[in-house]
Structures are given as structure tokens and as C-alpha cells.
Structure 1
Amino acid sequence: MKRINSPRDISLLQINKEEVLVIACDSAGGLGQKTQDQIKVSNRILGKYTVKVPLMEVISVGAEVITVVDNLAVEYEPTGREIIAGIKENLALIDKCECLNGSTEENIKTVQTALGITVIGKTNLKTLNRYTSSPKNNIIAAVGLPLVGEKLLQNKSQAVNFDKFLQLKQLNYVDQFLPVGSKGILYEARILAAENNFDLRLIESEPDLEKSAGPAAVVLLSLKEEDFSRLKKDIELPLNKIGRLI
């Protein structure tokens, strides 16, 4: 098994001449319905939002999800069961509800919610190269606004959810997709440029480029500038030009 280097927050393991495993993970803590959770949110929503991030990271590079593992540092009943229900809501959108495995904490009473989720997918080198390369002069566009915590819950229509991400993934004129998390838009835009061995020339833009986008509330797209107006018609989310690959 050979590791393929990637600037993205994923692991790529080549298992034979053609096939590649793609591994992504995410965690959440202090959000939920327990006494010491800092942000109160339903357990179902917590599960749905947390699994969304690694799912998007794996699918962004053209991989098919083959398994999802949830490590829940909470009891199964009722907290774990409700988190798992949220996870399954997103998995149902890709017909992968049966690929879920995991564990809960049944020995110690917990007073704060914590969980980690790992997603494993599989692709081939040709598809991987397709979704990790862009031509020079492509523009980088940000779909959605950087939102986290309570602001995300209050402005969900301004953020990319998993269903909207799957719709974006169907746009055949987009060269690359890259979810944005806690490190912000600028960090991920530079990752996308580095992936292509280009520099990033920033364009004046409205959103805060260094603000956390929480559970991938924003997705970066690489596309030709002439397709930007087409993109504006195809989506119903905030859209901003971030930069250009030079």
C-alpha cells in the first residue's frame, strides 16, 4: 500500500495499480443537549452536520463512500441513537445507510457531548486526477457563507448542506471542489492552488476569508471565468469570486 501525498485534509492510500482509498474524518465537542454543552443543538442535527464534512471531503475527489465509522463518546440511549439518526439522514442521500459502524460509551456517565466520524471511500487514479487538477487562470469561487455554531443554525439557507453539495457535484463545468472548514476560505483556496502548483491571486470579495466555515458551510469551486455567470444561475446560495490560479 502506497501513500499519495495531498495538501488536502485527507489520506490517500493506493492499494493497487489503479485503486485508491480516500480517508477523511471530523469531530465535534461541546455541542448537543447535555448539561455542559456550550451550544445547545439537537443530537440529530449534530450527527447530520458532523458526518457531512468527511463525506464531502471524500466525494470531492471523486471517491465512492464504502464505509462510515462513528465514535460516540456518549451513551447510546438516547443521545447516541439520536446522533446516529442524523448521520443516517445524510447517508440516505447516497444510499449508504447500511455502511455505518461505530461505538458508544456505556460504562461512564458523560455530561458533555463528543464524537468523531471517519469516512472511507474508494476511487481510481484517473478519477482522482480529474478532481484534483485545474488549468491555469481558473477562478476560485466560494459557494455559501462562513458560518459556525449558533449563527449557522440561524442562517442555514446561506450555507451548503449535504444535499446542496451533491447538486453542486453534478455541475460538469466545475473542475474542482474543496469544502471549507474551521481554517477558513483563504487557507483552503491556497490549498487548492498548491494542489495545482499555481499561485493564488486574490480578488476583492465580501466574505471574511479567514473566518471559520464550521462544518463545511462553504465549498470552493474551480472553474473557467466564462462559466461563472452560468454557475450563478445554477445555484441558490451566496456566491463570491475569491481568486484566480496564476
Structure 2
Amino acid sequence: MRNALELVGGLVVTTDNSGGIGMKEADAVHAPDDLVGYFTARVTLLEQWAAGAEPVAVILHNFAGDASWDDYLSGIRRVFSESTLGMPPISGSSETNMEMLQSAMAVTMVGRRCREVAQSGGSWFLYGRPLVGQDVIREPEKCAELGKVKRALDGELIDAVWPAGSGGIGAEWLRLTGRPLARWPAGVDPAASAGPATAVFVRAVPGKEAEASDHFRDYFDEIE
């Protein structure tokens, strides 16, 4: 598991947050609230998959005021739509006593483990490219597609998922494997932040590497 908390009975809790990104004047990065909700929920879902779980409930923590709630919720729903998952029950809270100068929110998911993360000797691939800030908005075609990842899991083309974060793919690879990254796609900076998990490590089921490559196609490269 990456950042998940496993509870008794196979329950898995994952979370991600966003601060200073939104539509408030003082925000460091200006982006629509629905996009912020989407990318925050995206990371939280990928953490569920990394733990071999699927979400059964969602909690939205909104510090940006009531006006942002519906847009955040719209972004969260888009994550489940793209992933071909049913939308689980969602609840949460908005900060309305104090007005924040910058936007802030978080998404927590409670999931249930539904598959064991195999300890196979399959090859690892990088799907997507590290992006952060405005590059996430400018280059959406480089973001790993949730639907493709989910279909690859369901079709048993891949048996493990590991989202990359702000430390970059080099730090993430070291954390995942315990060894330095020795091979990565040309033009990619291993230290560059992958922001809201725009890049994801996936492990191909042994013997299905070519199938996986045909399935993911663009921005899909073997690493080691």
C-alpha cells in the first residue's frame, strides 16, 4: 500500500487535499472548483486502487465556502463516471463560520479491499506524464486516464497501480522498489512533481506486456 489506512474487516481509507488552488483572488493557481474536486478525488481513488480496494463512501471536506460545494461535487462525480464506477454515497461539511482567503478542500474515501495486490515479477510501466499547476490544465492529454486504468485492472492486463506524487517519479520509484530509477522516458524529469497523480506506475501481468501497451498506447513506457 502507498498512503492507505487499512482497518478491520478489509476497509481501506484514503485521502487527498488541495490548498491555494481555485477561484479565490488570493489563490496561487486559478482553476475552476470542479476541476479541483476532480483532481483531488482522482488521487484518492488511485490510492484505493493501489491498495486493491474500491470505494464505498466519499467524504468531502470544503473550506472554500458553500458556493464551492456543488462544483467540487461535480468534479468528484466526474471521477466516478470516467472510471465506470457507480457513485457511492457522499457526505461532508463546509466551513461557513470563517471566510478563507484561499481555497482549500479535501476528499476522503472509504473503500473495501476486493483484490490482493499480487507480488508478481511483471514489468512496470509509467503511464502519463508528470504535470503540476497550470500544466495540468494546458496538457490534459498527458494525464493518465482513469477509465483506461480501471479497464486494464478489470481485464487483468495489469495487477498493480502506484500513483506518482509531488516528489516525482524518481522518488516514487525508490519508495516503491527500494532502488534508484535507472530507465525512464526521454524528456521526463524524474524529479518533476506529478501533481495530482497525472502519472501512474502500472505493473503488467507477466506475458501481457504487449496487450497492455496496445491498451494504453500514448505516454506508456517501460521503466526500471
Say if 2:126 and 2:201, in contact at 8 Å, map to a contact too.
yes
Correspondence for 1:65: 55
Q: 1:71 to 1:106 in 2, by over 3 A?
A: same
For structure 2, the 5+ residue unaligned runs are none
Percent identical across equivalent pairs?
A: 24
The match for 2:190 among 209, 213, 236 is 209
Q: Specify the alignment match of 2:105 in structure 1.
A: 115
- The offset of 1:155, in angstroms, is 0.6
Deviating above 6 A after TM superposition, structure 1's stretches of 4 or more consecutive aligned residues are: none
Q: Pick the aligned partner of 1:83 from 72, 75, 78.
A: 72
1:169-208 to 2 correspondences below 5 Å: 169-194=153-178, 202-206=182-186, 207-208=188-189
SS of 2:36's equivalent in the other structure is: helix
Shift of 1:120: 1.1
Q: Is the 8 A contact 2:12 2:53 kept in 1?
A: yes
Q: Which runs of 5+ in 1 are unaligned?
A: 1-5
- In structure 1, what is the Cα distance between the partners aligned to 2:161 and 2:132? 20
Could you say which residue in structure 2 is the equivalent of 1:3? Answer: none
Larger Cα-atom Rg: 1
> Hey, what's the Cα distance between the residues in 1 that align with 2:30 and 2:173?
31
User: Separation in 2 of the partners of 1:55 and 1:24?
Assistant: 8
Any idea what the Cα deviations from partners look like across 1:73-103, whole Å, max 9, x if unmatched?
0211x22221112112223441124x11110
Q: Which residue of 1 aligns with 2:222?
A: 241
Aligned partner of 1:9 in structure 2 is: 3
- 2:85 alignment partner AA: I
1:222 aligns with 2:203: yes
Give deviations 1:139-169, integer Å, cap 9, x for gaps. 2210000011111111101111333332332
Q: What is the match of residue 39 of structure 1?
A: 29
Backbone CA RMSD of aligned residues = 2.1
1:87, 1:204 → 2: CA distance? 31
Q: State the distance in 1 between where 2:189 and 2:152 align.
A: 22
Residue type of the alignment partner of 2:87: K
Structure 1 position 56, deviation (Å): 1.3
Check whether the contact 1:39–1:150 (CA below 8 A) recurs between aligned residues: yes
1:148 aligns with 2:150: no
- Per the alignment, residue 85 of structure 2 pairs with 94
Distance in 1 separating the partners of 2:43 and 2:26 = 24
TM-score for both structures, normalised by structure 1: 0.82
1:10-49 Cα offsets, whole Å, 9 max, x none, are 1122x2xxx4111111010111100101111111111111
Change (3 A) 1:63 1:180: same
